[in-house]
Structure formats: structure tokens, C-alpha cells
Amino acid sequence: MNLIELQRSLRQLRLGGMAAVLETRLHQAQAEPMAPIDLLATLVNDELTRRSGRLLERRRKQAGFRDPDKTLDNFDFQFNPKLNRSLVFDLATGGFIDRREDALFLGPGGTGKSHLAQAIGQAAILQGHKVLYRETHLLLEELAEAALDGTRKQYMESISGVALLIIDDFGMRKLPQTAAEDLLEIVMRRYERASTLLASNRPVEDWGKLLGDVAAVGSMLDRLLHHGHVLKCGPKSWRTKTASTN
């Protein structure tokens, strides 16, 4: 079997990582020289590295981040220096996901809630967790569409099973009449089974009026706060700063 045939066989075995670097690694083994077991170990590591990279990219795409470039590295903690930086980095370790705890990010619009929520989602993916990011109105629209086409149960099971569900921009738009019941069901399904991170520009005192169901909001908050972490963002807004400098 020659090199081309061996590469073709590796690809048929779905070992594309090995096939891609096989010729280079063979030259390396001749130049060093490299023991057969070391060559094999290197090729296996190449394959694992490639698969790991593909898995990360697939999970990032499946997460559906609105701003996939948002990370902790490019967040300016100096803009709002009173932000609980220790809590942010503690959440970024993913320990709260392992413990199936929840988080609430509260503060005015433009204070970095979405950036931090997505950054923590990115960190969770690097740690091997499945993440789903949805703006609140889009999550409820998808759920309504699933109800119409008869797949609501399957959709609810899919969003209940991810390790971290990020519900962003709660309170930014008018929500359907079923919002309180739908959100409560999502939170109840995930309670102590998986982690939910909810970001809102409205204080929790306004949620009953926002959703039109004080009892449902009370039940939802009881669960989110039972094992929950609350991050208060602000008070300064990035969007206000940007507007004033233009």
C-alpha cells in the first residue's frame, strides 16, 4: 500500500486528521528518527486534536450565540468597576454548571449583561458542556412554532437537556400571553437538573407586571434563586457612552 492508498483508507475509516498530516509525520519520523510507537502516538494525537477542534466549532455553532466573538478577554471590567468580577470568573470556571445551579444577570441595557452571558457560554463550551443561547422572544417564538407543528414536546426536551441554557434580553420586548407559563415550564424542567442563566434589563420586582402572572413569576424566581447567583451590572451603559462620543 502506497501513501495515497493509505491516506484514502484512513479517510474511509474517518481518520481525516491522521490522513491530513501523514506525509509530514512520515518525513518527521525519518528525519529525527522516530520510533514506530512514537509515530503512531503522534498521529493519534493529531486525530484527537482535529476532532476536538471540530467538536468545539460544532458546539459553538449549535449554541447560536448572537455575538460569537464576545469573551472575557475582550470585556472591559474597568468601565463599571463595581461589577463583581470575582463572581464572573467563578461562573466562568463552570463549577455552577457541574452543581446544576442557576444565574441571574440584572441591570440596565448596555451594561454588559449579554457580553458576559455569552462569554460564560463560550467558556462552558471549552470545558465540554453543551450550551444553548437564545434571546427571550426568539425562544418563545420557537416554542410557539413547535406547538403549531406538533413538535412542542420534542423541542421542550431538547432545550431542557442542554447543560447551560442562556436566556438573554428578558424584558426588552413585549412577550406573548403564554410567556409566563412557558418560561415557568422551562425553568421547572431544568431546576436542579441543568443550569439556566437569565439576563434581564428589568428588576425582578417588575417581572410580575411584565408577564402578567405574579404567581408564575414567583414560582420561577423561587427556583432560579434557590441555587442561584445574582450578578448586578451597571450602572453605566456602553451604548450611552458610544452615543455621547459620536
Average pLDDT over residues 183-200: 96
Of 222, 228, 158, residue with least CA distance to 199: 228
In this prediction, residue 233 carries a pLDDT of: 92
Which CA distances in Å does 204 have to 4, 80, 171, 227?
63, 21, 10, 16
In this prediction, residue 243 carries a pLDDT of: 46
Q: Is the pLDDT of residue 244 over 70?
A: no
Between residues 195 and 21, the one the model is more confident about: 195
- Other Cβ atoms less than 10 A from the Cβ of 184: the count is 20
- Amino acid at the residue 242: T
**In percent, how much of the chain has pLDDT > 70?**
96
End-to-end CA distance of the chain: 66
Q: Is the pLDDT of residue 104 over 50?
A: yes
Q: Is the pLDDT of residue 240 over 80?
A: no
Q: Is the pLDDT of residue 239 over 60?
A: no
Exposure class string for 24-50: b at 16+ Cβ within 10 A, else e: ebeeebeeeebeeeebeebbeebbeeb
Average pLDDT over residues 118-132: 95
In this prediction, residue 241 carries a pLDDT of: 54
Q: Is the pLDDT of residue 168 over 70?
A: yes
In this prediction, residue 79 carries a pLDDT of: 87
Note if the pTM is more than 0.85.
no
Average pLDDT over residues 134-153: 96
Using alpha carbons only, what angle is made at residue 162 by residues 158 and 163, rounded to the nearest 5 degrees? 165
